[in-house]
Amino acid sequence: MTNANISQAPTVGRLLAVGDVHGCRDLLQQLMQQVAPCADDQVVFLGDYIDRGPDSRGVIDYLLDFRERWPQTVFLKGNHEAMLLDFLAGRERLRYLLNGGETTLYDYREKGKLVIPPNHLQFFHGLRLYFETEHHLFVHAGLRPGVSPQNQGEEDLLWIREDFLKSDYRWGKTVVFGHTPIRKPHLAPDRIGLDTGAVYGYTLSCCDVVRRKIWMARTTRQV
The predicted model gives 82-90 an average pLDDT of 97
pLDDT attached to residue 2: 42
Q: Coil, strand, or helix at residue 108? A: coil
**Is residue 207 a part of any domain in this protein?**
yes
Please tell me which residue, 12 or 163, carries the higher pLDDT value: 163
Q: What is the pLDDT of residue 221?
A: 59
Looking at the domain assignment, is residue 5 inside a domain?
no
pLDDT at 7 over 60: no
Cross-strand pairs, 213:
208
Domain count, the chain: 1
Tell me what the pLDDT averaged over the chain comes to.
94
Q: Which of 15, 78, 27 is nearest to 196 (CA)?
A: 27
Residue 7 counted as domain residue:
no
Boundaries of domain holding 24: 13-218
**Average pLDDT value for residue range 85-101:** 96
User: Would you say residue 49 lies in a domain?
Assistant: yes
The per-residue pLDDT for 167 is: 96
Residue 159 CB-density burial (10 A; 0-12 exposed, 13-18 middle, 19+ buried):
middle
In the chain, the largest separation of any two C-alpha atoms, in whole Å, equals 52
Residue 19 forms part of a structural domain: yes
pLDDT of residue 6 exceeding 60, the answer is: no
Q: With 80 as the cut, is the pLDDT of residue 142 above it?
A: yes
Could you tell me which residues come within 8 angstroms of residue 207 by beta carbon, excluding any fewer than 6 positions away?
Answer: 16, 17, 176, 185, 187, 192, 194, 213, 214, 215
Contacts of 165 (CB under 8 A, 6+ apart): 142, 180
The whole-number pLDDT of residue 219 equals 76
**Among 41, 80, 42, which residue's Cα sits nearest to residue 60?**
80
Alpha helix positions (H), the chain:
25-35, 56-69, 79-88, 93-98, 101-107, 118-125, 154-159, 162-165
1 within some domain: no
* Amino acid letter for position 34: Q
* Residue, of 218 and 136, whose pLDDT is higher: 136
Paired residues of 128 in beta bridges: 76
Distance CA 99, CA 52 (A): 8
Burial of residue 80 (CB within 10 Å: 0-12, 13-18, 19+) is buried
d(CA 108, CA 189): 41
**Considering the domain boundaries, does residue 35 fall inside one?**
yes
CATH at 144: 3.60.21.10
155 domain-assigned: yes
